[in-house]
Structure 1
Amino acid sequence: MAFTTTYTLDKPYFYECFDESLPYSKRAKPKYFLLVLLVALGLFGIYGLNDHYLGSFLIMLGVLECVAFYYRRPWWVTRQMLSRASGSEVTLTFDDDGIKSANHYKNYQLAWQDINTVIDTQQGILLQNKSGMQYISKQILSSEILDFINKKTTQ
């Protein structure tokens, strides 16, 4: 039995992918240790070593890390939109072997036995495997496909 569906890699899809994946990613929280370390080293550089250039540089790196964390969503979506695959149509095929994804720029296959966890989010599903996570929106999945995925991943 095989199911096929298609979707377009556009900005709304990328925003949904980021928003639904973020709570399960390693980047959900700021790097507090790094921030404290940079500020402490910066203050040590200014007051301990009397090197204002080095201290200011380290503190500005901490500020830059804060800005990068704050703007991580638009930055990630912009990077995806600048990729050559942006705007292309992706065809997903669900069969007994696994999930196949194909578009003009990249093809990959994820075998059912390689999927460690299926996380059901509000707007989609996250498939975790050893190399990372794959997000699939429920907007493109029928109830038959969702049942098929659940059946294959719980075996």
Structure 2
Amino acid sequence: MVFTTTYKLDKPYFYECFDQSLPYSKRAQPKYFLLALLVVLGLFGIYGLGDHYLGTFLLMLALLECIAFYYRRPWWVTRQMLSRASGSEVTLTFDEDGIKSTNHYKNYQLAWHDINEIITTDCGLLLKSKSGMQYISKAILDEETIDFINKKATQ
């Protein structure tokens, strides 16, 4: 049995991908340890060593880390939009071997036995494997394809 579907790598797809994947990623929480370390070292640099340049630099790094966390969604989507593949058509093929993703710039294959877990989100499926996570929107899938994916990945 073979299922094929296509979609376009555009800004709404990237926003959906980020929003649905974020709760399951390592980047869902700020790097508290790094922030605390930078603040402590910055204050130590200012008050303990008397080096205001070093201390201020470390405090500014902590501030920059906070800003990067706050703007992580638009930054990630902007990076995706600047990639060569942005705007291209992607063809997904689901068969007995696995999932094949092809477009003009990159071909990717994920075998069923490599999928460790399938997480169903509000808008799609999140496939976790050793190499990372792959998101597939339900907007491009029908119920028969979703059932096929769940059946093949759990075998």
Q: State the TM bucket, normalised to the shorter chain.
A: over 0.9
Task: Return the offset for 1:153.
Answer: 1.2
In structure 2, the residue matched to 1:74 is 74
Report the counterpart of residue 28 of structure 1 in structure 2.
28
- 3-state SS, counterpart of residue 27 of structure 1: helix
Per-residue displacement from partner, 1:37-73 (whole Å, max 9, x unpaired)? Answer: 0000000000000000000000000000000000000
Q: What amino acid maps onto 2:47 in structure 1? A: Y
**How far apart in 1 are the matches of 2:54 and 2:48?**
11
Question: How far apart in 2 are the matches of 1:55 and 1:26?
Answer: 29
Could you say what secondary structure the match of 1:99 adopts? strand
Match of 1:117 in 2: 117
Look up the equivalent residue of 1:133 and give its one-letter code. Answer: M
TM-score with structure 1 length normalisation? 0.99
Letter paired with 2:8: T
Whether 2:52 is the aligned partner of 1:47: answer no
Question: 2:28 is paired with a residue of what secondary structure?
Answer: coil
2:154 and 2:117 mapped to 1: Cα distance?
9
Q: How far did 1:137 drift?
A: 0.2
Pairwise CA distance, 1:142: 0.5
How large is the RMSD of aligned CA atoms in angstroms? 0.3
1:102 aligns with 2:85: no
Give the structure 2 partner of residue 83 of structure 1.
83
The separation in 1 between residues aligned to 2:132 and 2:109, in whole angstroms, is 14
Aligned to 1:146: 146
In the other structure, the counterpart of 2:58 is 58
- 1:89-128: per-residue Cα shift (whole Å, max 9, x none)? 0000000000000000000110000000000000000000
- The answer to whether structure 1 residue 132 and structure 2 residue 132 are counterparts is yes
5+ residue gaps, structure 2: none
Classify the secondary structure of the residue corresponding to 1:68: helix
In structure 1, the gaps of 5 or more residues are none
What is the percent sequence identity of the aligned residues? 81
How many residues end up aligned between the 2 structures? 155
Amino acid corresponding to residue 136 of structure 2 in structure 1: I
Counterparts of 2:150 and 2:67 in 1: how far apart (Å)?
Answer: 39
Q: Compute the TM-score of the two structures, normalised by the length of structure 2.
A: 0.99
